[in-house]
Amino acid sequence: MPASILDRVRQGALGAVALAMPLWPDVLPALLVLLVIALLPWQRPFTGLPFASLDGSSPLPWVLLWYAIHVLGMVWSTNSNHGWFDLEVKLLAALIPILFMGAPDVWRRYRTAVLRCFLWASALTMLFLMLRAGWLFQAELRLRATGHYPDGLPYTNIFYSSYFSPWLHPSYLAMYAVFALAVSAFAVTRENRSRWSHLAEGRILPALLVVGVVLCASKIGWSALVLLAAQVLGVRWKEANVRRWLLMGALSTAAFFTVLLVSFAGMRGKITEAWAALQGTEDTAHDSSAARRLVWSSAGALIAEHPWVGSGTGDVKDELVRTYADRQYTYPLEHRLNAHSQFLQTAVALGIPAALVLLASVLVPLVFAFRRRQHLFAAVLVLTAINWSVESMLEVRAGVIFFVFFAALLTDRPQSRTGA
């Protein structure tokens, strides 16, 4: 295949994956197949040492090791069907690092263009969801005005959580949006582009994303938004224009959030759920915040039983469900919940050493990112760490794709001092 055509295919495949993550997740499997084929070393074989393009400052070798431990964990698993399914879900954690080693410059060459695709896709997704919610809201208002009252939850629910984001879990959508905000702050808006580009990518799109994060009603998404605002303020404090817009945005967001809390009982419920969970919970908890306390307690007990090798790649879900049944934890048992923390999930499945490898995949690169002033890389690593603390995000393809894709995209040459 001619080099120019191959480069166009690679750029198109990378951009298409970035666009599809928030906009059309259902087509991601097909696009990922195209990406894998495009990134194969068509023009030349792998050269040099296998890991010459990677070192510990990138998450990629760590997640490759983490996946290898999952493969090893099949040895002491009894539920092989679930184990093979789990390996298939996590397969990109091995494929992307290997493909990156074959063509590392491809990812770096198209980095900014792919990041821009993700920024626009995330903002347009939020805009579409807001328009959808507004349309459904006015349609139901018109029905109610004629004396027809549809069954179901209050019609204002369409503006938040899974009702607002029906095809993508709101926690994932909020994570995408916060990262897109980081892209706007640390990557694309620092280029010498037209006034319109700066207005769109530095003002309009971030406004849509912030409103979207609030409407997703993801508590960890709200926390990530606050942390990102603090990072941007610290990094770009000397830029008066950025400082002014950021402070104005923070005040506007706080006012918008307050209006939602006062107006919508569902939004208030998110806060009261979290507060109640902090105060303690019963075995019959019926919300996600309280249930986390139950599943974390169960995961801790299983880790204590098998601290070094875990329950096995294929047996982790069975062991968690058994523990819920033994402890009579009704809600987690009925919903067959995972550990709701990727670090705990890994420790239950494969032991504390495997969990430490996973922890190293974000903490070690984070140290290097701070030292090298790679602000965007630092943002995605912090965002990943806090989301993994309360969600088992690598148990689904969406979580695996997000992390390994952007880890590859933001990985610089070993010993590089340049930022994203």
Q: Each residue's pLDDT tens digit in the chain (420 positions)?
A: 566 788 889 999 999 999 999 999 999 999 999 999 988 865 555 554 455 567 889 999 999 999 999 999 999 999 999 999 999 999 999 999 998 988 888 899 999 999 999 999 999 999 999 999 999 888 888 877 777 766 655 556 788 888 899 989 999 999 999 999 999 999 876 665 677 888 899 899 999 999 999 999 899 999 999 999 999 999 988 888 888 888 888 889 888 888 877 777 666 666 776 666 556 545 556 667 778 889 999 999 999 999 999 999 999 999 999 999 999 999 999 999 999 999 999 999 999 999 999 999 999 999 999 999 999 999 999 999 999 999 999 999 999 999 999 999 999 877 644 444
Instruction: Look at residue 31 and tell me if it is in a domain.
Output: no
Are 124 and 230 in the same domain?
yes
Q: What's residue 104's pLDDT?
A: 87
Instruction: Look at residue 200 and tell me if it is in a domain.
Output: yes
User: What does pTM read for this prediction?
Assistant: 0.91
Neighbours of 123 (CB within 10 A): 24
Residue that the structure tokens 């610089």 belong to: 412
Are 186 and 293 in the same domain?
no
Give the integer Cα–Cα distance in Å for 285 and 111: 44
Q: What's residue 418's pLDDT?
A: 45
Are 240 and 355 in the same domain?
no
Are 254 and 329 in the same domain?
no
Are 339 and 208 in the same domain?
no
Instruction: Look at residue 33 and tell me if it is in a domain.
Output: no
> CA-CA distances (angstroms) from residue 22 to 87, 167, 235, 402?
24, 10, 27, 10
Token pair of 63 as six digits: 């997640």
Instruction: Look at residue 106 and tell me if it is in a domain.
Output: no
Are 159 and 221 in the same domain?
yes
Instruction: Single out the residue in 270, 293, 321 at which a domain terminates.
Output: 270
Instruction: Single out the residue in 249, 270, 291 at which a domain terminates.
Output: 270
Contact 321/378 with Cβ under 8 angstroms?
Answer: no
Q: What's residue 417's pLDDT?
A: 45
Are 200 and 343 in the same domain?
no
Q: What's residue 276's pLDDT?
A: 62
Domain carrying residue 190: 119-270
13-52: buried (b, 16+ CB within 10 Å) or exposed (e) per residue?
bbbbbbbbbbbebeebeebbebbbebbeeeeeeeeeeeee
Are 254 and 379 in the same domain?
no
Instruction: Single out the residue in 216, 244, 270 at which a domain terminates.
Output: 270
Are 152 and 266 in the same domain?
yes
Are 284 and 418 in the same domain?
yes
Q: Say which residues have a Cβ less than 8 Å from residue 123's Cβ, sequence separation at least 6.
A: 180, 204, 205, 206, 208, 209, 212
Give the integer Cα–Cα distance in Å for 230 and 120: 23
173-206: buried (b, 16+ CB within 10 Å) or exposed (e) per residue?
bbbbbbbbbbbbbbbbbbeeeeeeeeebbbeebb
Quote the number of domains for the chain: 2
Contact 340/391 with Cβ under 8 angstroms?
Answer: yes
Are 80 and 124 in the same domain?
no
Instruction: Look at residue 2 and tell me if it is in a domain.
Output: no
Contact 173/125 with Cβ under 8 angstroms?
Answer: yes
Q: In the chain, how long is the greatest CA-to-CA distance?
A: 74
Are 266 and 339 in the same domain?
no
Instruction: Look at residue 51 and tell me if it is in a domain.
Output: no
Question: Which phi and psi (to 5°) does residue 365 adopt?
Answer: -60, -30
Instruction: Look at residue 70 and tell me if it is in a domain.
Output: yes
